[in-house]
Amino acid sequence: MTRSKVKQLQLKQDQNSTLPSIEEETDQTKEDSSEINAKNTLDIERLKIEQGKDSIIQQKIAEVMKNPVKSSYEFKDGLLFKLMIMREGCNTKTKLIYLPSSMINDLLQVYHSDPLSGHFGVQRTYLKIKNKYWWPNMKQSITQYIQSCLPCQQYNISRSKKPGNLEGIAL
């Protein structure tokens, strides 16, 4: 549960002056998550359709079907996943959804520009995304998206000192 949801619950508790039961709280979190999912354009069915349209993903699926053992991809339930080792020294591979190029801007909008996302920088946005999704040149496209984000450019000021003019010292 996020801080804003906790704050909303506290305000409701103050107004009603009674504590909600655990069942009421879980029902509310289910409703909240369904509202978020309704706004989220990254549903599984759309993902399957967009992966079906993407020629690069279709090539990868064909490669996986020919030789699934040697591939760093997995095709399961109609979705292509990238198998990645997330921690050094750990041999367990995590399945990350291979995001089609047509959905990258939608995902970045959800993880960066959405009011609940916070307009974080490149590193924090990348860290939020990297455990769930993968696409080629991921870091580069995140950097380009954030550099083109108008609110970020307007309100994020440079924290470094501007270089001064170099002049010789008179002896």
pLDDT above 70 coverage of the chain, percent: 82
d(C-alpha 48, C-alpha 97), whole Å: 11
Q: 104 and 135 in contact (C-beta within 8 Å)?
A: yes
d(C-alpha 100, C-alpha 31), whole Å: 29
d(C-alpha 113, C-alpha 142), whole Å: 12
- Reported as a pLDDT band with limits 50, 70 and 90, residue 28 is very low
Q: What is the DSSP string of 113-137?
A: ISTTT----HHHHHHHHTTTEE-TT
Q: Is the pLDDT of residue 144 over 90?
A: yes
- Reported as a pLDDT band with limits 50, 70 and 90, residue 18 is very low
Query: How do residues 47-81 score in pLDDT, each as one tens digit?
Result: 999 999 999 999 999 999 998 888 899 999 999 99
CATH of domain 42-155: 1.10.340.70
Q: Is the pLDDT of residue 102 over 60?
A: yes
Phi-psi category of residue 31: left, alpha or beta, with phi > 0 → left and psi -120 to 50 → alpha: alpha
pLDDT for the residue 32: 43
Q: Is the pLDDT of residue 41 over 90?
A: no
pLDDT for the residue 26: 43
